[in-house]
Amino acid sequence: MPDPLSLIAPSLASLGLSTARPLVLIDVDEVLGLFMQGFGDFLKSHDLEMRIDRFALFQNIYRPGATEHLDLAEGKKLFDAFFAGHCDQIEAAPGAIDALNRLSDHAEILILSNAPAEAERLRTDWLRKHGLAHPLILNTGPKGPIAAGLVAQTSHPTAFVDDLLGNLDSVADHSPLTSTFQHVADLRLRPHAPRSDRHPRIDDWTDLGEAIEASIRR
């Protein structure tokens, strides 16, 4: 009978990753890349605006001058259009690329992003544009199950970085030995982003890189 974890996660070998080094799983939006800024610019080109006055996405999209946010279904359509055609235009989070390059001296890196499947080519292009040759997995839903399937394949230490507590809690629940870190890249979003004692919150990428490195050297 196949291992149930192998049904939800590809093998590290098939992704080109070694099981002989620690494994670090990294989110993209608001971790490696400035999603809210990029999506906000895309909205501007549709005569809409992103108002960051709470930790939300679709509820932050407004027509100029409006007091009620845009219909959520319309927001979702714009979100899908952004990922299908424009998600390669976001900026890298300050310090992220350098920190990842330093980390890759000591660890295997896997990019684990919750994004529509249509984003795969542009998201891959974006990583390559920044010199990141690491494999990319596009996931939907909480990241714990797929992370568990991935980290179960290595006996070396593992770490996971995300901006969303839902994903961090999910990974911590499914893979209690994996070190989890919260990073919120967007300066405007930081004061609104909920944090948790379960996961160190490190918004500076240089500090984050060092903390990840310490965690996988334990």
Binding site for Mg ion (CB under 5 A): 27, 29-30, 163
DSSP code for 169: H
Q: With beta carbons less than 8 A apart as the criterion, state whether 134 and 110 touch.
A: yes
Rounded to a whole number of angstroms, the minimum distance from the CB of residue 113 to Mg ion is: 7
Token pair 């911590």 is at which residue? 172
Q: With beta carbons less than 8 A apart as the criterion, state whether 69 and 59 touch.
A: yes
- Rounded to whole angstroms, the Cα distance separating 117 from 126 reads 15
Q: With beta carbons less than 8 A apart as the criterion, state whether 178 and 167 touch.
A: no
Rounded to a whole number of angstroms, the minimum distance from the CB of residue 96 to Mg ion is: 12
By beta-carbon proximity to Mg ion, the closer residue of 20 and 117 is 117
CA 56, chain centre distance (Å):
16
* Residue with the shortest CB distance to Mg ion: 29
Rounded to a whole number of angstroms, the minimum distance from the CB of residue 31 to Mg ion is: 5
Rounded to a whole number of angstroms, the minimum distance from the CB of residue 49 to Mg ion is: 21
By beta-carbon proximity to Mg ion, the closer residue of 153 and 205 is 205
By beta-carbon proximity to Mg ion, the closer residue of 150 and 153 is 150
By beta-carbon proximity to Mg ion, the closer residue of 27 and 213 is 27
Q: With beta carbons less than 8 A apart as the criterion, state whether 144 and 175 touch.
A: yes
Rounded to a whole number of angstroms, the minimum distance from the CB of residue 68 to Mg ion is: 26
By beta-carbon proximity to Mg ion, the closer residue of 90 and 153 is 90
Three-state SS sequence of 122-147: HHHHHHHHCCCCCCEEEECCCCHHHH
Give the residue from 127, 118, 135, 186 showing the smallest Cα distance to 14: 135
